[in-house]
Copies of this chain bind each other. A is one copy, B any other.
Amino acid sequence: MDDLRAVPPSLTGLTTYLLSRTGKIARGRLAGRFAERGLRLWHHAVLAALADFGPHVQRDLAARLAIDPSDMAKIVDELAGAGAGAGTGAGAGTGAGVRAGTETGTETEAGYVERARDTADRRRITVTLTAAGRALLAELDADAEAVQDEILDSLTDDEREHLNALLRKVFTHLDN
C-alpha cells in the first residue's frame, strides 16, 4: 500500500481534476503526434473548420475558433506557405502534402490551404481548403482516433459512447 506512485484520491475524486488531467494527457499525446508533422493542435482545428463549414474569411475563422486574429494569421500562414514541415518528422507519413516547391530545399510549400483576396472587399482574405489539406486532415483525424484508442483502451464501446455523449453535453453547454 501507499504505492508511492499512487495519485492522491482526494484529487481523483474531483471531476474537475480528472478532466484536467486526462484532458492534458490527451492533449499531450495528440500534440506529440502532430508535432512529428511539424504541426500543432490549432492547425488541425483550422483544417476541420474549413472542411466542416467551407471557406472562411480569415477573421471569421478566428472568431469561430475563439482565437486571436493575429495568431490566426500566423497559423494560416503556416498551413499555406513554407515553414510548417521543416522540422523533425515531416514527410514521414503517407506523403500527402509537403510538396517540395521550386525553392532551394529548406523551404517546403505546404499548400494545405489557399488564401485569396476577396474581390469585393479587398481587405478580406478568404481561406479555402485544398486537396492536400483535405488529405492532411484525414491523416490528423486518424492520429486523433489512434490516440483515442490508446486513451480509452479500458472502456467498452458502450462506455466510450457514453463518455463522448456526456462530454459533448458538457462542452456544448460550456461553449456559450
Partner of A164, one of B18, B20, B152: B18
Interface size class of A (residues with CB under 8 A): 35 or more
Query: A48 near B154 (CB under 8 angstroms)?
Result: no
In the assembled complex, how far is the CB of residue A44 from the closest CB belonging to chain B, in whole angstroms? 8
Given contact pairs A2-B53, A22-B23, A53-B2, A48 touches B15 in the complex (Cβ within 8 A): no
**Bound-complex Cα distance A2 to B63 (A):** 13
Q: Is A5 at the interface (CB under 8 A from chain B)?
A: yes
In the assembled complex, how far is the CB of residue A32 from the closest CB belonging to chain B, in whole angstroms? 12
**Bound-complex Cα distance A144 to B9 (A):** 14
User: Hey, which chain B residues are within 8 Å of A155, CB to CB?
Assistant: 166, 169-170
> Residue on B with the closest CB to A27?
B20
> Residue on B with the closest CB to A1?
B53
Q: Is A16 at the interface (CB under 8 A from chain B)?
A: yes
Q: Is A30 at the interface (CB under 8 A from chain B)?
A: yes
Q: List 20 A-B contacts (CB under 8 A).
A: A6-B53, A8-B49, A11-B44, A11-B45, A14-B141, A16-B26, A16-B148, A18-B171, A19-B22, A19-B26, A20-B41, A21-B23, A22-B23, A22-B170, A25-B174, A151-B174, A155-B169, A159-B166, A162-B162, A166-B166
Q: Which A residues are within 8 Å of any B CB, using their own CB?
A: 2, 4-27, 30, 41, 44-45, 48-49, 51-53, 60, 63-65, 141, 144-145, 147-148, 151-155, 159-160, 162-164, 166-175
